[in-house]
């Protein structure tokens, strides 16, 4: 039961920025499902805004983990 790959832009794989942000924040808690990870990767490849957001999420996630571990 595998869907055929569709070209970006027809709405099948390309997700909305808001959806990408949700996936980014999820990813800080737990690894994403393969399909979600792929969609996010594709979106980040095409969307500069979300690439910047991803960097910030990564920095925030790191800071949060340090804070949670009581390491400053």
Binding to Zn ion by residue 13, rule CB under 5 A? no
Residue 54 within binding range of Zn ion, rule CB under 5 A: no
CA distance 17 to 25: 12
Smaller CB separation from Zn ion, 9 or 70:
9
- Window of 7-15, 31-39, 42-50, 56-64 that interacts with Zn ion by CB under 5 A: 42-50
Regarding 45 and contact with Zn ion (CB under 5 A), the answer is: no
- d(CA 55, CA 64) in angstroms, rounded, equals 14
């Amino acid at each position: 039961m595998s869907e055929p790959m569709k070209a970006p832009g027809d709405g099948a794989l390309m997700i909305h920025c808001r959806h990408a942000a949700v996936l980014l924040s999820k990813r800080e808690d737990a690894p994403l499902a393969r399909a979600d990870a792929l969609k996010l990767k594709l979106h980040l490849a095409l969307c500069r805004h979300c690439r910047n957001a991803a960097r910030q999420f990564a920095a925030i996630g790191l800071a949060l983990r340090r804070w949670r571990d009581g390491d400053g």
